[in-house]
Structure 1
Amino acid sequence: MIYSMTGYGKGNLVLHGKDITVEVKSVNHRYFEYSSRMSRFFAFLDDKIKKEIQSMIARGKVEVSLMIRAVENSETKIEADVLLAKSYYDALNTISESLGLPNNADVLAISRFDGVLTQVKNEEDAETLWNDVNTVLHLAMEEFLAMRRAEGEKLYTDVMDRLAVIENIVKDIETAAPMRVQAYREKLYTKLQNILQDKQIDDARILTEAAIFADKVAVDEETTRIYSHISQYRKILSGGEPRGRKLDFLTQELNRETNTIGSKSNDLAITNMVVEIKAEIEKIREQIQNIE
């Protein structure tokens, strides 16, 4: 089973007087990258959420949204740092006097400054809140992973189909390759006939030249390696671990062997087949960018 790096999931429950909503979404990325949106009152949960998600996925750019709304009276208290509020007010007065502007700050405005109001939680409250958030997070992750799995199945089918296309084209190249040697031999024989006219043509020389040509344009080593890469590709796709980077490497190798075949070809039909293979490899490359 393979997983796409594109996914979305949402969880929502009311637990212990709090309406908790967690949204998780991700897109493809070379590594695991995490970002979040939540009230600073719950920032102490951020690292726990990150570790929980990272234990479930290996790669992707992940964004988490956490919203917690009280629906019942709770024991959580808000404390005001009056000294800090006074310091803010005095600083505003200093600015006001320096600039000759009125100080329009009110209590509500000052309360919004960082640290003036803080939410007080004892250890038991914090642990309970994390357990509740984690429960909702797992609901979101179930949906999130299901979407990544469904997208991964589509990628798997598409890449497997394209590998089969490449394999069939390579077989056609193997069939066409020997014909080039025979065509070269006949062309060389005709050319010598035109030059020598009534003189005896050295068949041994023609065979030697044809053998040299055959060795020069032989692609059997390249096709063998392509088959091997395709076999490894299928094995990795059917495995059970993150595989995106391994597939990146194999895709580069497939492309390299195909380029070598193209450089050896002086035949239009084989050149066209090489172009077809490269088109399929490029489509595969695009698809595996989203495989975890």
Structure 2
Amino acid sequence: MSVIRSEHSAASLVTYGLRLATEAAARAAYEWIGRGDKNQGDQAAISAMHAELQKLGINGVVVIGEGSEAEVGELFNGERFGDPATPAEFDIAVDPVEGTSYLAKGMTNAMAVVGMAPRGTMFQPGPAFYMEKFAAAPAVKGKIDPAAPTEEKLRLLSQILDKPISDLNIYVLEKPRHRDLVERLHRAGARVALYPAGDVAGALMAAIPESGIDALMGTGGVPEGILSACAIRAMGGEFMARLDPQLATEKSAVEAAGMDMRRWYQLEELVRSDQVFFCATGITTGLLFEGVERTRTHEKTETLMIGGPLAERQLLTTFHRRAPTA
């Protein structure tokens, strides 16, 4: 019993520290909701998250960041945080604003996200920017071949979840590349929940039983895929991914790196440890939680925290005191 309590306490401390980073990013991005400038909003969140991660007492390196050191000044791939002498080393994945277009347009589902796992356990995507993904609830784990035709996936989902195909609701990003996928889902009789961005939210909803989303299908960003894998590895569920370049230059770079674009990676290959931590804070209200709300004296945030091998998730509401204005 004492070992369980010890693991629980350690996981809680790590996730509690990480949530400060996502909450800071969300609060900074709040100023840019609906202002039509996704880059300014993203940069505000990046700087706020960077400042909080610097305060964490960890030995961590960003493996899924905002780009190379030559491209960005903060949260770049390879950037280190904390004390190198600290024995526990971590991989860090960040997305200060998941859904920058949501933020700029004042739409739902924008969030700030961080994932963390022991050093060397997160999948290294190399030059890949996009991956095809499949996410579903724990009951689906190991029972569906992600390379199977869409219709076969729906048939198996229907059997496993014990609901007719006509009741299945599949989360898909609303992109031109998914036109055929959406048509096949509709022809098979399934419902489709289309969103212009936000596949982290979609993957998490798919992994949570009775959430209203039965699966996520389609191609999205690699960073969002690894962050989704962190969350689902921590709380339980099915998640698999395949590198799926969308441009000829990306495809050439992936081929030159010797990476197999036909291979589907299992969840345990994407994050090779159950000592994984995940935090996401709502910027705009969405499927998972409320967005930032501001009064004259406080800002309210909602943060989803998932930590460690206990597969627990918590939803934390925090009232942050605002600095007085002149």
TM-score when scaled to structure 1? 0.20
Between Structure 1 and Structure 2, the one with more helix by share is: 1
Greater fraction of residues in strand = 2
* Larger-gyration structure (1/2): 1
Relative contact order, higher structure (CA 8 A, sep 6+)? 1
After TM superposition, the score normalised by the length of structure 2 is: 0.19
